[in-house]
Structure 1
């Protein structure tokens, strides 16, 4: 039996002004969010012992940031469009997206699909404290992509809760902070038809703009590139798994940052081949940006980013790693993912467990598959330096033979599919180091690509 000693204290909500200076913040000359009293420090969430007060104060700061970003998107030539079509944002439940004004005239379109908890046009609020607001938002991404003649279609997976009190769709965090501490989410009143979740939102937007991107009435044939993050990529993969035939002639490449999709989501053979040859996943990993990581989850090749937060992957990898790869796809779409040497004997031994495996030992017998161990001083059976380039030109005829499968040309659909199946039969190591990369059969020269 329990007895209440002190009655529950019912506190009134604390309201905060939508004004950065009144909230104790300002934007410095480097475009960074800073405290007025401590100009060297960024946003501080824990300023009050009551969590609800901190929550509402953070929401006030976030709203200030949204109002700062809105005119910046306009300056970059993007316009808010509301779905479903014909909706009045002043009265109707609808979802805004950003569309470049020249969408119908450009030849290349970058379709950006973010995660499910960010505001429209935002990658990371954390990055707005430094390097700056443009860096943490999609402004920097847009500016660098515009130099490569991209147009834009930016989806809005995060703002999926309609709030009658606020009068617009917002993120769940905003809705919770702006209404009450423990609100009830009504799946009818608080949702927008056709945009109830990330998968339906992506389906609705792409179906709506399909005619302007891949339809017969398109002014110019377009090349479409997808830049996705988290659950946004999952929703895109689910959509493309069913509709890839319509998009296949126009889709050039896909980048997935810390995606939640897996090989189990891909049943279309065409989509599987596309992911293998023209898609890349970038994940939270300590290795230098662009280092190949043997990860079988995403069907596509996987690379490290040297990031510890998933939300910072795209802001910090876009300009130097991701955009250059998109340019590589444009220059050589059939060879943008490399031909890789794979030591399949080592891959098979993954079944025995990584802990007790110390690596292949080289032998002089040229019939011994261990001669393909990836050492910098590798020699052929006659004591001469082994010529990998010459072997690559042979076309990978050894694929399918018993023992060592010498090469996998990822531009060949059949070989790529076999390689993917073979990798999926083995356990993924918990940690990956340089020796592990060698034992997965990746030639050292292909690690940084």
Structure 2
């Protein structure tokens, strides 16, 4: 590294070969600091999709990271101070040992320290009782300090104009437990409302008893006799019947769940009297044996633990899964098979798929189009990434159907239902969903236009979509979709956002950065 060595050293300590080496490395890797800062901004920006933030975190972990903090930490470890181990106590190793022997360190027993005769090391351990307890919150809306106002919105009892306050602590465990308690209150409130709309809970597989491993879905009571079936396939991280928890708190419980969607499909469409609704459940695929119920991975991580800092419950790949529903792709296949067995002769199916739900349905129909052609009437999907359907679909007949009877509603700041560029990479006409940030808000915002599209297909015999000519700069481009921007000095940098494609049964496919 002699060719990179600076003429002057900006150090204020004793100079030796190791210090010069550290200084040289720091100068060499300074050129990556601006890129690291941009990646840190993407990671901390909660308005970006989770996939983009995860990809930025992965790229940051693979970059050179020899900054001043790691330099100091490595130097202390090499010098025997072990700052990375004892920094929580703010003391070096020898004072820590003296305080521990005197019983002045919380959680370290004073009596009977274990001495290893061979290595000559005195060992200390922390007792379980000294660890912080797992936080608990009541699963009751009033005890949490909230209520449902006359507009069906969740508001604070103390401050009626305030919504749900998530950041009550800097401890992530406290935040997760409070959020799960609030989500459970929302689920309990919505359950009787689903029943009032004739949405019953159906167990898959159908032969399972309430205590057997099963995945619940919502189906209309008139499913066997309905001439039209609306199938909703949501995201892989949402609870049954929930479109977006954030919409439940901000707009209303009906808007953030399938209540408004179901009500408009049954009573607001042209064929409402002959319509049935099926709500799939690709999110609650973890079977909790202690409670005999299915749940999302988020709810699983919020289950009670031994203490507040343990690693959580182990997820068994067999015991905590339901046979035939091991992942979202298999669950979508089982739901499609369930609908095919229950639907009457001559009935048609309209599909709404949001993000992974829409993609997995497309992949399933590509493999089973011979069974479903003539049954699927139209499809509407909501996407926050570029799903290259022409590159994925192998069945030419289904690809022609997709181009003529499908619409894609994309994450975009343009007004709702405004045409966007994207037909070439996605394979069908693309429109703005009216939502610019969160994929979970696509369905609450765009579902009226999706239902209107289904009514249009129903009212026009032999309906086919007309290819829309939209400028390239508006919508999904063919090289990676949305763009991430950040400021680097006086220059605005841009980079394509990471886009992924789901595998055959829900696994990750190819992606671009």
Scaled by the length of structure 1, the TM-score of the pair is 0.73
Say which structure is richer in helix.
Answer: 2
SS in 2 for 1:141: helix
**Aligned pair partner of 1:317 in 446, 451, 466:** 446
Change (3 A) 1:18 1:324: same
Q: Does 1:196 align with 2:341?
A: no
Looking at structure 2, the residues matched to 429 and 18 of structure 1 have their Cα atoms a distance apart, in angstroms, of 41
Change (3 A) 1:56 1:340: closer
Contact 2:285 2:294 in 1 (8 A): yes
SS in 2 for 1:14: coil
Equivalence for 2:287: 162
Larger radius of gyration: 2
What are the equivalent positions in structure 2 for 1:369-448 lying under 5 Å apart? none
Equivalence for 1:302: 430
What are the equivalent positions in structure 2 for 1:195-214 lying under 5 Å apart? 195-213=325-343
Q: What is the Cα deviation at residue 259 of structure 1?
A: 6.1
Equivalence for 1:132: 252
Looking at structure 2, the residues matched to 71 and 229 of structure 1 have their Cα atoms a distance apart, in angstroms, of 25
Contact 1:110 1:153 in 2 (8 A): yes
Equivalence for 1:265: 392
Equivalence for 1:47: 168
Looking at structure 2, the residues matched to 4 and 341 of structure 1 have their Cα atoms a distance apart, in angstroms, of 64
Q: What is the Cα deviation at residue 429 of structure 1?
A: 7.9
Equivalence for 1:117: 237
SS in 2 for 1:178: coil
Looking at structure 1, the residues matched to 244 and 481 of structure 2 have their Cα atoms a distance apart, in angstroms, of 30
Contact 2:434 2:446 in 1 (8 A): no
Change (3 A) 1:119 1:208: same
Deviations 1:163-196 (A, max 9, x none): 1233211011011011445433221121111001
Looking at structure 2, the residues matched to 257 and 140 of structure 1 have their Cα atoms a distance apart, in angstroms, of 17
Contact 1:114 1:232 in 2 (8 A): yes
Q: How many residues align?
A: 346
**Aligned pair partner of 1:22 in 139, 143, 146:** 143
Looking at structure 2, the residues matched to 64 and 297 of structure 1 have their Cα atoms a distance apart, in angstroms, of 41
SS in 1 for 2:302: helix
Q: What is the Cα deviation at residue 197 of structure 1?
A: 0.6
Change (3 A) 1:428 1:205: closer
Q: Does 1:33 align with 2:33?
A: no
Deviations 1:204-226 (A, max 9, x none): 1211331222xxxx2x4112100
Equivalence for 1:361: none
Looking at structure 1, the residues matched to 482 and 140 of structure 2 have their Cα atoms a distance apart, in angstroms, of 47
Q: What is the Cα deviation at residue 238 of structure 1?
A: 1.3
Change (3 A) 1:168 1:64: same
Looking at structure 2, the residues matched to 226 and 427 of structure 1 have their Cα atoms a distance apart, in angstroms, of 27
Q: RMSD over aligned Cα, in angstroms?
A: 2.2
Change (3 A) 1:221 1:22: same
What are the equivalent positions in structure 2 for 1:242-281 lying under 5 Å apart? 242-258=367-383, 261-263=387-389, 264-281=391-408
Further displaced range: 241-250 or 202-211? 202-211
Looking at structure 2, the residues matched to 268 and 259 of structure 1 have their Cα atoms a distance apart, in angstroms, of 25
Contact 1:328 1:336 in 2 (8 A): no
Looking at structure 2, the residues matched to 119 and 429 of structure 1 have their Cα atoms a distance apart, in angstroms, of 28
Change (3 A) 1:257 1:430: closer
SS in 2 for 1:297: helix
Q: Does 1:96 align with 2:216?
A: yes
Q: Does 1:144 align with 2:284?
A: no
Equivalence for 2:459: 331
Contact 1:160 1:169 in 2 (8 A): yes
Contact 1:292 1:304 in 2 (8 A): yes
Q: What is the Cα deviation at residue 104 of structure 1?
A: 1.3
Looking at structure 2, the residues matched to 314 and 258 of structure 1 have their Cα atoms a distance apart, in angstroms, of 10
Contact 1:252 1:333 in 2 (8 A): no
Change (3 A) 1:15 1:297: same
Consecutive unaligned residues of structure 2, counting only runs of 5 or more, are 1-76, 90-106, 108-125, 306-310, 484-513
Equivalence for 2:95: none
Equivalence for 2:352: 227
Further displaced range: 7-16 or 25-34? 7-16
Equivalence for 1:370: none
Change (3 A) 1:192 1:259: farther
SS in 2 for 1:127: helix
